[in-house]
Chain A
Amino acid sequence: MSVTSIRERMSGNEAVAEAIRQVNPDVMPAFPITPSTEIPQMVSSFIAGGKIDTEFIPVESEHSAMSAAIGSEAAGARTMTATSSAGLALMWEELLLAASNRLPIVLTLVNRTLSGPININCDHSDGMGARDTGWIQIYAENNQEAYDNYIQAFPIAEDKRVHLPVMICQDGFITSHAVENILLLPDEQVKEFVGTYEPEEYLLQPGKPIAVGPYSISAYAMEAKKAQAVAMENAREVIKEVADRFAQMSGRQYGFFESYRLEDAEYVMLIMGSAAGTAKQAVDELRESGVKAGVLKLRVFRPFPEKEIAEALKNAKAVAIMDRVESYNGNCGPLGSEVTAGLFRNKVFIDTVCYTYGLAGRDFTTDNVKEIFGELQGLVCEGKQVPHNRYIGLRTREEQ
């Protein structure tokens, strides 16, 4: 297929709203919350302007938004919603139900910190908090990836081998509100790629009664959870297949992660979201001064590609694992925990240093990245220890 693209410039929120317009989902229950408010707002104006015929349900809370999404998806309608931060937290119990009822809902998450202190800026505490709810989670670096990931979400979620909800994440304000260039796909191509939604089993099917989400006694619940875990494992191959099909249409190839100057890298930064752009910029500069630096930008966090990460890092000397969330576990963030466990299990015994950065919108700069690579080099070459789970860009008495 020859690649056709439309050059545009738009924010991450606009990019996702544009993808929603092209997909034209059946139902969108949503409640506004900063910084994702623009998404339901723009979808509402598409509906008002007759551009799409999505049924918009203005609910009274995010708890209701996800409940309505579950009901609507179970009824047989392709359903999506959008939220951020406390909105995602309020959806909590329903997130787990959406997954356990095996409903392919798509949620576009604009990452914002969870209170407190109350703050509206970006970090990953909302998405990371929902990491064990059974949702597939895909993170974007920029508006282009948010758009591309969104289009891929439906074929992944609705695949028979998967039937799980998908969360498409982008960084609040940094990506959601920054206007950047973007290549859009023609409407017909997106529609064809996503296809019409034809669920096999759904509630509004006369003569074929079903009950969704029944009470399960202990004799069945554990088996049901195992089956759900298998679906998450199946998602690995489906995510790859969908990415390949997407590459044919768009010319943009995605994987579980992006390997940036990784082939011969001795020092690697493993990072997720918009800050990966900063890391790449710094790596380019470091490479010019002869440092063999690289970036592993994680795209798919759930299912977690531990084997592939271990394989990609096995020849490195040291890796900085960057968490944009504080886990309050006295150890380190979720990426730190899961990447180190994955490396260990796959017998890749390289140096790892966990860092916390960018909490509640704290800037993360190329200088920060270079400082971290300097610490990795100091660790490997001179045996200089780096404190575990150091905060980047933190004011301390010592520094002042």
Chain B
Amino acid sequence: MRTDVKKINEQTPYEDLTEGLIMFAGATAKKFNTGEWRTNTPVFDQEKCRQCLLCAPVCPDGCIPVKDDKRLDFDYDHCKGCGICYKNCPFGAIEMVEGVEPPADRRTEA
């Protein structure tokens, strides 16, 4: 039953697919760059950020990485630009800008 799903492709006959199309792998969503769907982009202002960490847990896509109790910059490969983090930031440290690309000058290197 357990199959190496990497060996399955669009030429695989139906008999060789997994039962119910079960994926025998974890965290496969990482391979799918949902960031491309974004029409608005959150921009992080490190100066204003108090590291309260209210934003990270509300992101539906887990796009606000936290390391050593501090949030880092957005994971733009997967951020869909929904703006939930922006709504939740009590300190105005997140701004939404139009478009898929964060403006280069506003971007804080993580």
A133 to chain B, nearest CB (A): 15
Judge whether A227 and B15 touch: CB under 8 Å. yes
Chain A residue at minimal CB-CB distance from B15: A227
Judge whether B22 and A219 touch: CB under 8 Å. no
Judge whether B17 and A223 touch: CB under 8 Å. yes
Most buried by B among A208, A214, A228: A214
B13 to chain A, nearest CB (A): 7
B96 to chain A, nearest CB (A): 28
- Given A100-B20, A200-B1, A224-B20: A211 and B14 interface contact (C-beta under 8 Å): no
User: Is B105 an interface residue, CB under 8 A from the partner?
Assistant: no
User: Is B4 an interface residue, CB under 8 A from the partner?
Assistant: no
Q: Helix, strand, loop or mixed for chain A's interface?
A: loop
**Residue tally, chain B, CB below 8 Å to A:** 18
Binary per-residue interface labels of chain B (20-48) against chain A in the complex, 1 for a CB within 8 Å, 0 otherwise: 11111111100000000000000000000
A223: B residues at CB distance < 8 A: 12-14, 17
Interface residue from A103, A208, A214 paired with B21 (Cβ < 8 Å)? A214
Chain B residue at minimal CB-CB distance from A101: B20
B19: A residues at CB distance < 8 A: 102, 163, 201, 227
Interface residue from B13, B15, B21, B28 paired with A216 (Cβ < 8 Å)? B21
User: Is B10 an interface residue, CB under 8 A from the partner?
Assistant: yes
B88 to chain A, nearest CB (A): 28
Chain B residue at minimal CB-CB distance from A203: B22
**Residue tally, chain A, CB below 8 Å to B:** 23
User: Is B7 an interface residue, CB under 8 A from the partner?
Assistant: no
User: Is B2 an interface residue, CB under 8 A from the partner?
Assistant: yes
Judge whether B15 and A214 touch: CB under 8 Å. no
Binary per-residue interface labels of chain A (177-203) against chain B in the complex, 1 for a CB within 8 Å, 0 otherwise: 000000000000000000000001100
Judge whether A220 and B22 touch: CB under 8 Å. no
For the complex, give the distance between the alpha carbons of A102 and B22 in Å: 10
Judge whether B14 and A227 touch: CB under 8 Å. yes
- Given A200-B1, A220-B17: A210 and B23 interface contact (C-beta under 8 Å): yes
Judge whether B25 and A213 touch: CB under 8 Å. no
Judge whether A224 and B22 touch: CB under 8 Å. no
User: Is A226 an interface residue, CB under 8 A from the partner?
Assistant: yes
- Given A201-B1, A227-B14: A213 and B20 interface contact (C-beta under 8 Å): yes
Chain B residue at minimal CB-CB distance from A163: B19
User: Is A209 an interface residue, CB under 8 A from the partner?
Assistant: yes
B17: A residues at CB distance < 8 A: 220, 223-224, 227
For the complex, give the distance between the alpha carbons of A226 and B12 in Å: 13
Judge whether B22 and A209 touch: CB under 8 Å. no
For the complex, give the distance between the alpha carbons of A226 and B22 in Å: 15
B2: A residues at CB distance < 8 A: 200-201, 208
B25 to chain A, nearest CB (A): 7
Chain A residue at minimal CB-CB distance from B32: A215
A3: B residues at CB distance < 8 A: none
Judge whether A211 and B13 touch: CB under 8 Å. no
Mark out the residues of chain A between 213 and 269 whose CB falls within 8 Å of any chain B CB in the assembled complex.
Answer: 213-214, 216, 219-220, 222-224, 226-228
Judge whether B22 and A201 touch: CB under 8 Å. yes
Judge whether A209 and B26 touch: CB under 8 Å. yes
Q: List 11 A-B contacts (CB under 8 A).
A: A102-B20, A201-B2, A201-B19, A208-B2, A212-B20, A213-B20, A214-B21, A214-B23, A219-B10, A226-B14, A227-B15
Give chain B's interface residues, CB within 8 Å of chain A: 1-2, 10, 12-15, 17, 19-28
Give chain A's interface residues, CB within 8 Å of chain B: 100-103, 163, 200-201, 208-214, 216, 219-220, 222-224, 226-228
Given contacts A210-B23, A220-B10, 15 further A-B contacts (CB under 8 A): A102-B20, A163-B19, A200-B1, A201-B1, A201-B24, A209-B27, A211-B26, A212-B20, A212-B22, A214-B23, A224-B17, A227-B15, A227-B17, A227-B19, A228-B20
